[in-house]
Amino acid sequence: MTENQITLVEAQPGDFPAFKRELQDAFAVAVVDEFGELPDGPIPSDADLDGAMSAPDAVVLRILSAGRPVGGAVLSIDRETHQNALGLFFLSPAEHGRGLGYKAWQAIERRYPETLVWITHTPYFEKRNIHFYVNKCGFKIVKFYNAHHPDPHGPGPNDFPGSDEGFGFEKVMKVGRDCRR
């Protein structure tokens, strides 16, 4: 197995506490870089993560590089409409800049080839994420969430500074059932 080979493995409930801590640690880096400190409590909150990870259509994936955990994703997979969502996606900060995020995203796309549309979102200050989704993965910005147009699935305005503003992204994979776009 090569060093940068990516595999995806469904996380087991016993792994959820470690998964949540790793995700919160990864998300904290951007918040501290932008705002200088974390608000009280982890971001996202344990309650928000528990809700996302236990939703009926949720799939919690570990991202492995050469067999070792380097990140994860929480997806919502709609097996009827095939309009799926990337709710949470992270790599350990020590793994940034090695192309693993893009390889992980490609592996997710391959895992769900019936997907017609992927959606996701990120806070406005997450320039790294915006670059990744738009310039690397081919998403288009389709929404700007703010106080006048809040993200119905996103954090509340009091979760952390700047969490009430962000972008919604969409990636159209197929038009109809058999045409690659």
Residue 99 pLDDT grade (very low, low, confident, very high; cuts 50, 70, 90): very high
Which CATH number covers residue 52?
A: 3.40.630.30
What pLDDT shows up at residue 41? Answer: 78
Q: For 33-53, what is each residue's pLDDT tens digit?
A: 877 776 677 888 899 999 999
* Residue 131 placed within a domain: yes
Alpha helical stretches, state H, 71-121: 100-111
Q: Which helix (H) or strand (E) holds 16?
A: helix 16-35
* Residue 1 placed within a domain: no
Residue 80 pLDDT grade (very low, low, confident, very high; cuts 50, 70, 90): very high
* Residue 124 placed within a domain: yes
Provide the residue range defining the domain that includes 43: 6-180
User: For the ranges 49-53, 88-92, 171-175, which has the lowest average pLDDT?
Assistant: 171-175
| Total number of domains in the chain | 1
The beta-carbon contacts of 41-49 under 8 Å, at least 24 apart in sequence, are 43/159, 43/160, 44/88, 44/155, 44/159, 45/159, 46/20, 48/155, 49/20, 49/23, 49/24, 49/74, 49/88
C-alpha to C-alpha distance for 113 and 125, rounded to whole angstroms: 31
Residue 159 pLDDT grade (very low, low, confident, very high; cuts 50, 70, 90): low
